[in-house]
Structure 1
Amino acid sequence: MTTAQEISASIDIPGRKMDFEFELDDIPRHWFADDAFRSTYMNALSCLFPEGERMFMDAVRAHQNKISDPRLLEQIKGFIKQEAIHGHEHAQYNDYLKKWGYPIDRINKIEKAEKVWMKKWVPKSHRLAITCALEHFTAIMAHQVLTDPQATEGMHPQFKQMWRWHAIEETEHKAVAYDVYQQAVGSYWLRVITMINITIMFCLRTTLYQLIFLWKDGELFNPKTWWRGFQFYFLKPGMVRKIWRDYLDYFRRDFHPWDHDNRALLGQWEAEAQAYKPV
């Protein structure tokens, strides 16, 4: 039987040059199933990515000198390429959100100031543990985007294309930061305690930005909007309910991201990725 570590070492991580050209005149404000809650949730997620991706790259780079495995070193290069492109594309996406009056510049300042503070005051081992935790979040959410039609049902085609591309690449590189952490740091307790902290902070930060967007949209006190949010999380598509078990796996001592062997998705969606050239 192939082990998770063997699967991880077998994964190629190409950088892909992206060319998303959003035509905002064609995109409605509530672009996800005409649903204010779903649309603002995805927009809030996107606001976390540009500075978050930079932190991920820095955290992995800071431990690269402790890695001797040539295969992992090669994967680190691919990881950095992919995250750099993700940050760039989401920065463009976020700029487009200004059209709807969202305070994107202020949010960007908050995100940047926090990451500067973290780089100065948070030990690099802790920043790598944070990266592992957030990469697990993105990996299990990406799995839902790629496997559950309800997870993207009703998305505007332009944004759907971008989120599915991001999900493919998050799946490809989901173990890189973890493998670096295991070789360079290895502490189980730091890993799981960090996940608890990050779960709280990730949910709070996403919720804060979403509340701002809902307020700007005049939907903050609309009971129908919150009912749709409850459905989104727990009923249909039931995002929290569906990722909960995969999330808890992270707390096993012997956990590895490729215990969730979804390599088949990479081939299944390869035709979509062929629209973009590796760089």
Structure 2
Amino acid sequence: MTDKQATARNVSAGIEFHGRKMDFGFEFEDLPRYWYGNDAFKSTLMNALSCLFLEGERLFIDAVRDNEHLVKDERLQKQVKNFIKQEAIHGHEHHMLSEYLDTLGYPATKVEAQERAVRLFLKKHVPAKDRLAITCAVEHFTAMLAHQMLTNNELTDEMDPRIREMWKWHAIEETEHKGVCFDVYEAAGGGYWKRVFHMATITMTFVMRLSTVQAYFLWKDKQLFKWSTWKSAFRFYWKTPALIPTIWKEYKDYYRRDFHPWEHDNRELLEGWEAEHDNYKAV
């Protein structure tokens, strides 16, 4: 193990976190249809992403639980329990948004039902260690997006302030537990080739699924074939906030043999956020 690997693993082992029951003080029904800069592309992108989170996070919980018996380290066992708490609460909040999206004519809860069928299929037919490798891959995606949510003002400034606060809370907790699944995977004896194989396949399937759901939302709004929609997409991914070039290096790092999520040490974001927020209850 290199010094870099050892440092990242020590950081991961020392992270203490807990579930939070947040009170954002608003009803989803108060949100405008295009709550993200009055922009159809950006709003439907985040709405589609939210629809995938409920069952995605249940998939993560299943995968960690099915490998938990292989974890011997007590600190990691405690982190696993708090990881499960956080993911369960995330799913509840995103389901509430899905119910609101249903009232706008988007089939959000139907998307959740489709994702549930996929999750149950994977649980039945895919080995536990492979499901954990899939979880590690998606958790890396969420950690990259979370860091951008917390540091890139160009990504969040145009969001409705209320829902921006919800996304930033989610981003903080994704950052806190970004090393847990990876550490469980290593404790379970997961290897390099399985890990990177599932990252490659998840990159394709996740992007395709997210794009399909978003395209349907845009089609429902008669926005899919408008030039303004495609112009907004290009700007979002490549110009402002330039999401793809911004996360590209961090994405590629996952394919290194000596990779660990906490080699990107952004603990200062956790300390700053918690110091500013007292409107939650630890659970």
Q: What TM-score comes out, normalization by structure 2 length?
A: 0.96
Partner Cα distance (2:19, 2:183) in 1: 19
Match of 1:137 among 137, 141, 144: 141
The 3-state SS of whatever aligns with 1:3 is helix
Partner Cα distance (2:29, 2:162) in 1: 12
C-alpha contact (below 8 Å) 1:18/1:85 kept by paired residues: no
Map of 2:85 onto structure 1: 81
The correspondence of residues 3-82 of structure 1 with structure 2, limited to 5 A, is 3-82=7-86
C-alpha distance 272-210 of structure 1, shift in aligned 2 (>3 A): farther
Which ranges in structure 2 are unaligned for 5 or more consecutive residues? none
Match of 1:234 among 238, 250, 254: 238
Map of 2:181 onto structure 1: 177
The 3-state SS of whatever aligns with 1:269 is helix
Q: What TM-score comes out, normalization by structure 1 length?
A: 0.97
Which ranges in structure 1 are unaligned for 5 or more consecutive residues? none
Partner Cα distance (2:275, 2:257) in 1: 36
Match of 1:214 among 218, 224, 246: 218
Map of 1:200 onto structure 2: 204
C-alpha contact (below 8 Å) 2:29/2:100 kept by paired residues: no
Deviations 1:168-187 (A, max 9, x none): 00000000000000110321
Deviations 1:80-132 (A, max 9, x none): 00000001111111111112100123212211111111111111111000000
Q: 1:27 offset after TM fit, Å?
A: 1.7
Partner Cα distance (1:272, 1:45) in 2: 27
The 3-state SS of whatever aligns with 2:130 is helix
Partner Cα distance (1:137, 1:202) in 2: 10
C-alpha contact (below 8 Å) 1:188/1:253 kept by paired residues: yes
C-alpha RMSD of the superposition: 1.2
Partner Cα distance (1:270, 1:246) in 2: 25
Structure 2 counterpart of 1:211, which letter?
A
Match of 1:258 among 262, 268, 273: 262
Aligned length: 279
Q: 1:272 offset after TM fit, Å?
A: 4.2
Partner Cα distance (1:234, 1:144) in 2: 14
Deviations 1:28-65 (A, max 9, x none): 11100111110000001001111111110110011111
